[in-house]
Amino acid sequence: MIVKTDPKLDLVLERVIDVPRELVWECWTKAEHIPHWFVPRPWQVVEGELDVRPGGKFFTVFQSPEGQKFPNHGCYLEVTPHQRLIWTDTLHEGYRPSGKGFLPEDMPLTAILTFTPEGKGTRYNATCLHKSEEGRKKHEAMGFFEGWGTCIDQLVEYSKTMRR
């Protein structure tokens, strides 16, 4: 499936990182890795459950530096091993409508992550599709590029500690 992005509705962050695609995939698909990189420090992921299959659960709980917890529910739409993950926060496990996403209710999103080999590393592409231009603008103003960029940096840092 090819997804055409719309700059009025979507945010795209792409980088080439010095991490093999297989490790990037493992960081995204094994729950034990998520707490090490998935939110910008000093925030933490204090709980996570992944069922990496179409219709499967993508669940995390973020904790702020002040200790406030934020549960995040999502559903995988597409899983192409080592190549692409698509998930949305508008559905729960089993494609059950959630009524609420990770972000404020007027900002539901679908995330498309692609991992393409490039040299010894990976071309990492994160695209967030939004319902409205207003939602995209709010997500960008909340720090999409800085936050997702920091998480990529943390993924790279963490992956270098993993056994290869």
Q: How much is the pLDDT for 106?
A: 63
* Whether residue 105 has pLDDT greater than 60: no
Which of 54, 50, 57 shows the shortest CA–CA distance to 32? 50
Q: How much is the pLDDT for 107?
A: 74
Q: Enter the tokens of residue 114.
A: 């692609």
* Whether residue 2 has pLDDT greater than 90: no
Q: How much is the pLDDT for 22?
A: 96
Q: How much is the pLDDT for 108?
A: 83
- Binned at pLDDT 50, 70 and 90, residue 20 comes out as very high
* Whether residue 102 has pLDDT greater than 70: no
Looking at every residue in the chain, the average pLDDT score rounds to: 92
Q: Which residue has the higher pLDDT, 128 or 1?
A: 128
Q: Rounded mean pLDDT of 130-156?
A: 94
Q: Please state, for a pLDDT cut of 90, what percent of the chain lies above it.
A: 81
Report how far apart the first and last C-alpha atoms of the chain are (Å, whole number).
Answer: 31
43 residue type, one letter: W
Can you spell out the DSSP letters for the chain?
------TTTEEEEEEEESS-HHHHHHHHH-TTTGGGTSS-TT-EEEEEEE--STT-EEEEEEE-TTS-EEEEEEEEEEEETTTEEEEESSEEGGGEE-S--SS-TT--EEEEEEEEEETTEEEEEEEEEESSHHHHHHHHHTTHHHHHHHHHHHHHHHHTTS--
Give the pLDDT confidence of 29-83 residue by residue, as tens digits. 999 999 999 999 999 999 999 999 999 999 999 999 999 999 989 999 999 999 9
pTM here is 0.91
Domains and CATH numbers, the chain: 10-159 (3.30.530.20)
